[in-house]
Amino acid sequence: MTTTDADANGSPRAAAAHPAPQPADAPLTEDRTVTDAAEIAPSPGVHGYAQQKDAHLKRLRRIEGQIRGLQRMLEEDVYCIDILTQVSASTKGLQSFGLQLLEEHLRHCVADAAVKGPEAIDAKVQEATKAIERMLRT
């Protein structure tokens, strides 16, 4: 999407489709009209998980370690039930991470869409609903 702004001389110029990333604590303000669901996402780098990024990465590294543990268990011919217990723990870790990310999406991205109007809200709610459906299938 391209919008038209005026430069310092009053001449029209094309603005970038996505403004420069803002710091996580900066207010989300954009002077543009939303025309479709793909354009509702906040600027790159400004996501609901931004403030928890380090904690999320640490959590994912822990889950990655659990998966590597599964590989070692197979290599070491560990008893099936013990491996299945580890599979369950890894699965629960990913599900928990996914739910946390979904909550942050709802608090940040859906709340941001509420400021933009009914069409933006509907698109974000539909997007979140589809994400929940995908999570429930697993």
Which pLDDT value is given to residue 111? Answer: 81
- In this structure, the chain runs to a length of 138
Which pLDDT value is given to residue 25? Answer: 40
Side chain identity, residue 8: A
Which pLDDT value is given to residue 137? Answer: 86
Residue 15's region, left for phi above 0, alpha for psi from -120 to 50, else beta, is beta
Assigned token pair, 16: 């970038």
Where do runs of H (alpha helix) occur along 106-117?
A: 111-116
Which pLDDT value is given to residue 112? Answer: 83
Task: Place 138 in a pLDDT band, splitting at 50, 70 and 90.
Answer: low
Q: Is the pLDDT of residue 9 over 80?
A: no
Task: Place 78 in a pLDDT band, splitting at 50, 70 and 90.
Answer: very high
Which pLDDT value is given to residue 34? Answer: 36
Longest dimension (CA), the chain: 75
- pTM attached to this predicted model: 0.58
Q: Between the CA of residue 129 and those of 29, 33, 55, 110, what are the distances in Å? A: 25, 24, 25, 12
Residue 102 main-chain phi, psi, to 5 deg: -65, -45
Query: Can you tell me the distance from the alpha carbon of 137 to that of 130, in angstroms, rounded to the nearest whole number?
Result: 11
Which pLDDT value is given to residue 115? Answer: 87
Query: Can you tell me the distance from the alpha carbon of 13 to that of 5, in angstroms, rounded to the nearest whole number?
Result: 5
- Contact present, 48 and 107 (Cβ < 8 Å): yes
Side chain identity, residue 98: G
Q: Is the pLDDT of residue 35 over 60?
A: no
Looking at every residue in the chain, the average pLDDT score rounds to 73
- Contact present, 40 and 113 (Cβ < 8 Å): yes
